[in-house]
Amino acid sequence: MALHVAVIGSGPAGIYTAEALVKQSAEPVGVDVLERLPTPYGLVRYGVAPDHTSIKSIANYLRKVLELPEVRFLGGVTLGEHVSVDDLLGAYDAVVYCTGAMVDRKLGIPGEDLPGSVAATDFVNWYCGHPDVDPGRFTLDSSEVAVIGVGNVAVDVVRVLAKTHEELRSTDVPHDVLERLEASQVKAIHMIGRRGPEHAKFTLKELRELGELANADVCVRPDEAVVLGVDFPRQVQGNIKVLQSWAAREPVGRPRRLDVRFWLRPVEILGTERVEGLKLERTRLSEEGRVVGTGEFETLPVGMVLRSVGYQSVPLPGVPFSDQTMTVPNEAGRVRDREYVAGWLKRGPTGVIGTNKSDAAETVRTLLADLSDRPRVSGGAIDALLAARGVRPVTYEDWLAIEAAEAELARSLGRGERVKLVGLEAMLRAFRS
């Protein structure tokens, strides 16, 4: 009898796990990919920046996995709401949790909850058209915005804020969001790193793109571009070189300005009714290498603060979770008997899409070794269970109908290949009709 596995989450980790299970030759396998949204691909659809179309095309690879005869997509099914861990262990030989990291990390400073202080997770979800976020959620009515963090997500957010409406028109950004970006009042963007250029987490290719923005001058202060030491990895040397070249050039009067700042940490978000400023403290590294304040402060007159300081996983009901690492404790992917984990939920919110492939492969190796001589359950029990609960999963064919409706919407608006449908209702209508 075939091995039946439930994969929870259809982001890169989930789909690479399904692929690794099907492609191994040891035994026949059937994989159900359960996903809370009606749409597959996780952050490839709702994270990767809309103007990064070549990265988004990784979805064309992932779709081939969902089209394998051994794999089924069951969208609109949430672990913890429609099914429990016990349900899954009753219906499958094994379960692999791949639910990623969906929430923001906190700064823990006063003013963090003021209107206008926004988690990058929400802002990214907004411009990516995630059904959890209303397209009317953000109005870009401040002339100055601060983005805290110097990782690749911060770079994405800055690019979307800095680009023109025309540059984003051919992307899949929801139409309401595009109109709000067109009406944006943002003139100055401050990207803030709490350490130096040599510690920034962004990658060279992504950094260089900021220097090519047609609509924004990129500025770095010469004193903040100085680094101590020379012995850095190639990527870091590349970043330093680019930043130092920007420090040496003058703005040419483009409509927007991006200031990339270093050695500043946020200490308070100022304002009474909403954000009116951001108080920063200059920093240095202590002898132990920790970021410490110098007691020298500066205030930026910003009306919006975007906190891009990393993502965080959330516990799944009935699944072990470490509050220290904010991941599911595991050994090479094994959580407990017949339960496994892969992707950001397994190792934390770092790494590019491809990192999840080798990560999923490790989990699948562990799973197959554990289950090689175990008796098998018979498949199909989940269908009866969901039907009894009145849950009709979104099928892969339903998803194709959503995709077709998005292509049709783009055609009708004279935009690129697709424009995201926003809200669950619009997506459900696409295949119910």
Residues that bind ligand NAP (CB under 6 A): 107, 148-154, 156, 193-195, 199, 201, 206, 265-266, 308-311, 349-352
Q: Which helix (H) or strand (E) holds 78?
A: none
As to burial, measured by CB atoms within 10 angstroms (0-12 exposed, 13-18 middle, 19+ buried), residue 84 is: middle
Q: 220 to 279, contacts with ligand FAD by CB under 6 A?
A: none
Q: In what order do the strands lie in the sheet with 291-300?
A: 264-270, 277-285, 291-300
- Decide whether 89 or 210 has the Cβ nearer to ligand NAP: 210
CA–CA dist 327, 345 (Å, integer): 5
Which one of 76-84, 142-150, 182-190, 390-398 is the stretch in contact with ligand FAD (CB under 6 A)? 76-84
DSSP secondary structure of 316-366: PTTS--BTTTTB---BTTEEETTEEE-THHHH-S-S-TTHHHHHHHHHHHH
The residue whose Cβ lies closest to ligand NAP is 151
DSSP secondary structure of 376-430: PPPTTHHHHHHHHTT--PBPHHHHHHHHHHHHHHHHHHT-SS-----SHHHHHHH
Interface with ligand FAD (CB under 6 A), residue from 3, 7, 8, 155: 8
H and E: helices and strands count for the chain: 16, 17
Interface with ligand FAD (CB under 6 A), residue from 4, 36, 159, 194: 36
- Decide whether 18 or 302 has the Cβ nearer to ligand FAD: 18
Residue 344 sits at φ, ψ, to 5 deg, of -65, -30
Mapped onto helix, strand or coil, the DSSP state of residue 307 is strand
Strand partners, 75: 35, 394
Which one of 4-12, 24-32, 88-96, 323-331 is the stretch in contact with ligand FAD (CB under 6 A)? 4-12
DSSP H stretches of helix in 103-219: 120-128, 152-162, 165-169, 175-182, 204-211
CB 209, min distance to ligand NAP, A: 9
CB 201, min distance to ligand NAP, A: 3
CB 141, min distance to ligand FAD, A: 23
What's the alpha-carbon Rg for the chain, to the nearest Å?
A: 23
Which of ligand NAP, ligand FAD, none is residue 100 near (CB under 5 to 8 Å by kind)?
Answer: ligand FAD
Q: x/- binding map, residues 126-165, to ligand FAD, per CB under 6 A?
A: ---------------------------x--x---------
Half-sphere exposure of 113 (CA within 13 A, CB side): 1
Residue 353 touches ligand FAD, criterion: CB under 6 A:
yes
- Decide whether 193 or 197 has the Cβ nearer to ligand NAP: 193
- Total of chain residues touching ligand FAD, rule CB under 6 A: 34
Residue 340 touches ligand FAD, criterion: CB under 6 A:
no
Which one of 62-70, 158-166, 240-248, 346-354 is the stretch in contact with ligand FAD (CB under 6 A)? 346-354
Which of ligand FAD, ligand NAP, none is residue 137 near (CB under 5 to 8 Å by kind)?
Answer: none
Interface with ligand FAD (CB under 6 A), residue from 2, 24, 52, 238: 52
Q: How far is CA 353 from CA 58, 59, 326, in A?
A: 9, 11, 20
The residue whose Cβ lies closest to ligand FAD is 11
**Nearest Cα to Cα of residue 424 among 187, 132, 208:** 132
Which of ligand FAD, ligand NAP, none is residue 194 near (CB under 5 to 8 Å by kind)?
Answer: ligand NAP
Q: How far is CA 115 from CA 67, 123, 139, 147, 265, in A?
A: 44, 13, 12, 15, 20
Residues that bind ligand FAD (CB under 6 A): 8-14, 34-37, 42-43, 47-48, 52, 55, 78-80, 98-100, 124, 153, 156, 311, 316, 343-344, 351-353, 356
